[in-house]
Amino acid sequence: MKTRRGRFLVLEGLDGAGTTTQASRLCSWLAARGRKAHLTAEPSKGPVGTGIRQILSGRLLGTGGAPFDPRALALLFAADRLDHWESEIRPNLEAGVDVVSDRYVLSSLAYQGVTTGDAPWVTAINGRAPAPDLTLFLRVRPAVALRRRYAATAEREIFEVPEFQRRVHRAYGRALGGIVEAGERVVEVAGEQPVDRVAADVARAVEKVLA
Ligand code: TMP
């Protein structure tokens, strides 16, 4: 008997929107329903993703100690994505396992759309990344998201700056419109609710793609 392909589900939102918490909750919810679920994230744990994490933390700089070039970083995110897809996402889906990813293409469209100032190019370099079955966007106001993030950890990544997060928030809005227009399935969830309520809304949306 042919194994039924798993579902590919993605959590998206600003830093501090709760994507990590909700991705993990969603995996537990899927497992409780007797499904096999695999939790993953981007940047991935692969070689490119590991390098990206070093750049984001400021430990790795560009040549001569200059800030890393935003276009080069956009290409690294896109390269990490294809490697992640081939090595981890696709094999799990084909084995009938649901894959829940904390971030995917939409993050690049929003963040790299801002850092490169060239959203169409960012869309183009991510053109080979297969679409998820469902993207869940956790909508949280930038100031609220950043306050949560600062409360959670003392470590600061290069993107965790108020003005930048506001610009990313607006870019998420534009990018969401684009992927909906392209026929992708996206559900927005009110991310400022208590964690359990957000998890319930996420589960309700996922239930529809499992049917
Ligand atoms: P994280 O905080 O969810 O681990 O993600 C790390 C940072 O990387 C976060 O600020 C969002 C950013 N990011 C991008 O800029 N582009 C991308 O494509 C991805 C996946 C993440």
Residue 158 alpha carbon, nearest atom of ligand 1: 10
Q: What is the pLDDT of residue 1?
A: 67
146 close to 16: Cβ distance less than 8 angstroms: yes
Q: Indicate the pTM of the whole model.
A: 0.96
Q: How far is the CA of 43 from the centre of ligand 1 (A)?
A: 6
CATH code of domain 8-210: 3.40.50.300
Separation between Cα atoms, residue 36 and residue 99, nearest integer Å: 9
Q: How far is the CA of 34 from the centre of ligand 1 (A)?
A: 30
Dihedral angle over CA of 160, 121, 44, 4, nearest 10: 130
Residue 108 alpha carbon, nearest atom of ligand 1: 18
| Short-list 41, 11, 37, 25, CA closest to 200 | 25
Assigned token pair, 80: 């990490």
In tens digits, the chain (211 residues) has pLDDT values of 678 999 999 999 999 999 999 999 999 999 999 999 999 999 999 999 999 999 998 888 877 888 889 999 999 999 999 999 999 999 999 999 999 999 999 999 999 999 999 999 999 999 999 999 999 999 999 999 999 988 888 888 888 888 999 999 999 999 999 999 999 999 999 999 999 999 999 999 999 999 8
Q: What is the pLDDT of residue 159?
A: 86
CA distances from 96 to 81, 91, 101 (A): 20, 9, 16
Q: How far is the CA of 49 from the centre of ligand 1 (A)?
A: 10
In terms of phi and psi (left: phi > 0; alpha: psi -120 to 50; beta: otherwise), the region of 64 is: left
Q: Is 49 in the pocket of ligand 1 (CB under 6 A)?
A: no
Going by alpha carbons, the residue nearest to atom 10 of ligand 1 is 159
